[in-house]
Structure 1
Amino acid sequence: MCGRYAILEEEAILEMREIINQVNKNYVGRAGLVSAGEIAPTQTAPVLRDAGGQVRLDVMKWGFPRWDKPSGVIINARCETVLEKRMFREAFLTRRLVVPASGFYEWDHRQPGQRDKYFFALAGQVSYMAGIYSLFPVAGGGSQESFVILTMPAGPAVAELHDRMPVILPKSYIRTWLDPRAKAELLLDIPEPPLVRALCG
C-alpha cells in the first residue's frame, strides 16, 4: 500500500522544487499551498491532470471519503481490481491523474515492537505515482475533488516489508496515462520501477 509519501525540495531533483514553487504561485492567497515534507492522507497535495489535452498542475485532497466511517478515508485502489469496484471504475476510465513524489514510506513490522521506517525512491528522479480522482460533496455544501493512489504487488525492494506498493509511471508514460481516450486494458502494463531503499534516521 502507500500510506505516506514525501515531496522534498532536493537540490538534485530540481523538477520537484519547480512543482512546489508553481503550485504555490498558482494558489497564493488561497487554500492549496503546499510545503515540502511528508504527505499523509487527508492532506492537500500537488497532482497532474488532463485539461483538454494539456497536462495541468493542480492540488487535491488525498483520500476518498468512506460512507461507512465518516471520519475515515480510502487512500489506495488495487490496480488488479480497479475496474471491478464501483467506487473506482468510472474514475479509472475517465479521471486519471499523476501524483508527483520524491518517494514513499514503508514501516518494518516483522519483529514485535519494531517500527523502522524506510524510504523508497527512484535515484535522482521524481516518482510519478498513478492515481484517480472523483468529486465528492462536503459538509456545509459544495464539493471537493479527492484522489487515491493505485497500488500493485510489491517488487523485490519492497516485498519484505509489505506486499503492495504504489504504481509508479515512467515519465514518458504520463500523457498516455492522463489521456481519457487511452484503452484501459493497456494502461496497467507498467514495468516495475528500479527503486532505491534507505532507512530513515
Structure 2
Amino acid sequence: MCASYGLDPRFKDQELMEDADHELLEGIRAWAQGNADETLRPTGRILRNLNPIVVPGEAAPAVELAWWGFLVDGRPSKFPSINTRSERLQDRPGSLRGRAIVPATGWFEMQKPSKQWHEFGLDEALFGMAAVTQRGRAEDGSWYTCYSIVMQPAVDRLAGIHDRMPVVLPASFGADWLAGAPSRELIDEALTASGSIADRIAATPRADDKGSERLF
C-alpha cells in the first residue's frame, strides 16, 4: 500500500495535468516549500497534516487541503481507507462520485524481507495519483474533504519491490479523471491510461528512513 509520499518543491517538469496553469502549479510548489520537504503521511486523530489535492473547480481545477483517509462518526475510520483498490472501484463504480488528483514527486514502499525502502518517481517531475474523495467530520466538528489514493497491481518490473502501486495518471487524462461520469468505464480508462506512465516509473533505493511507516 502507499503509506507515505513526497512532494519536492524543486520539481522542474510537470505531468500533473495538460491544462495545469501557473497559479495551480505555484500553489502546489508554495505548499511544498512550507512543508519543508517533510514526507506526507495519513492524517489522524492527533496528527492534522492536511495535504494538497487537485479537485474540480468552477472555472478550472483548484488546489484544496484535504484529510488523507476517511472520517467516520467524527474519527478516522477503523477500516483501511488511505488506499482504495482499483478492483473495488470496478465492482462499485458509485464510489467514484468524488474524485481528485494527488500531486507528488514520489512515493515510498518497503521491499520485504530486506526491509529496504525505495522511492518511486518520474525523474523528479511532478505527477498525479488518482484518488477518490468524500466529505468527513472530525471530532471537533470541522468538515474536510477526505481522500483515498487508488491502488492497482504493480507492473511486472516493479512487483518484486512491492505488489501494488498508485494509479498514476498521465497529464492527458487528468481532466477526464476529474470530470468524467462515475462509471466502470472511467476506472477502466484510468487503468489503461496509467499503463503509459507506469512503464516510466523508476525505483530508487533509499539509505534513510524517509518512507518509514508511521500511521496515526
TM-score w.r.t. the length of structure 1 is: 0.79
**Pairing 1:145–2:145 present:** yes
Contact 1:45 1:60 in 2 (8 A): yes
Pair 1:8–1:181, CA change in 2 (3 A): same
**Pairing 1:166–2:166 present:** yes
CA deviations 1:25-46 (Å, max 9, x no partner) are 9xxxxxxx64433111113111
Per the TM alignment, residue 184 of structure 1 is displaced from its structure 2 partner at its CA by 4.1
- RMSD value over aligned CA atoms? 2.8
Pair 1:71–1:35, CA change in 2 (3 A): farther
**SS of the residue aligned with 2:186?**
helix
- Whole-angstrom CA distance in 1 between matches of 2:136 and 2:9: 31
- Whole-angstrom CA distance in 2 between matches of 1:24 and 1:11: 10
Give the aligned partner of residue 60 of structure 2.
54
Contact 1:157 1:196 in 2 (8 A): no
Per the TM alignment, residue 61 of structure 1 is displaced from its structure 2 partner at its CA by 1.2
**Aligned runs of 1:45-194 on 2, under 5 Å?**
45-52=51-58, 54-65=60-71, 72=78, 74-84=81-91, 89-92=93-96, 94-110=97-113, 114-181=114-181, 183-189=183-189, 190-192=193-195, 193=198, 194=200
Per the TM alignment, residue 9 of structure 1 is displaced from its structure 2 partner at its CA by 2.2
Give the aligned partner of residue 39 of structure 1.
40
**SS of the residue aligned with 1:81?**
helix
Per the TM alignment, residue 107 of structure 1 is displaced from its structure 2 partner at its CA by 0.5
- Whole-angstrom CA distance in 2 between matches of 1:133 and 1:167: 15
The structure whose RCO (Cα within 8 Å, separation 6+) is larger is 2
Per the TM alignment, residue 57 of structure 1 is displaced from its structure 2 partner at its CA by 1.2
Pair 1:70–1:47, CA change in 2 (3 A): closer
Give the aligned partner of residue 19 of structure 2.
none
- Whole-angstrom CA distance in 2 between matches of 1:83 and 1:64: 20
Pair 1:21–1:184, CA change in 2 (3 A): same
TM-score w.r.t. the length of structure 2 is: 0.74
Per the TM alignment, residue 188 of structure 1 is displaced from its structure 2 partner at its CA by 2.9
* Aligned residue pairs, count: 186
Indicate which of 5, 11, 26 corresponds to 1:18. 26
CA deviations 1:116-167 (Å, max 9, x no partner) are 1100101242121000111112213232211000000101342012211000
- Whole-angstrom CA distance in 2 between matches of 1:168 and 1:187: 12
State the one-letter code of the partner of 1:41.
P
Task: Return 5+ residue gaps in structure 1 as ranges.
Answer: 26-32
Range moving further from structure 2, 184-193 or 127-136: 184-193
Identity over aligned pairs, percent: 25
Pair 1:175–1:137, CA change in 2 (3 A): same
- Whole-angstrom CA distance in 1 between matches of 2:174 and 2:115: 34
- Whole-angstrom CA distance in 2 between matches of 1:104 and 1:177: 20
- Whole-angstrom CA distance in 2 between matches of 1:147 and 1:97: 8
**SS of the residue aligned with 2:89?**
coil
Write out the 4+ residue segments of structure 1 that deviate beyond 3 Å after TM superposition: 11-17, 19-25, 69-73, 180-184
Structure with the larger strand share: 1
- Whole-angstrom CA distance in 2 between matches of 1:128 and 1:58: 14
Give the aligned partner of residue 4 of structure 2.
4
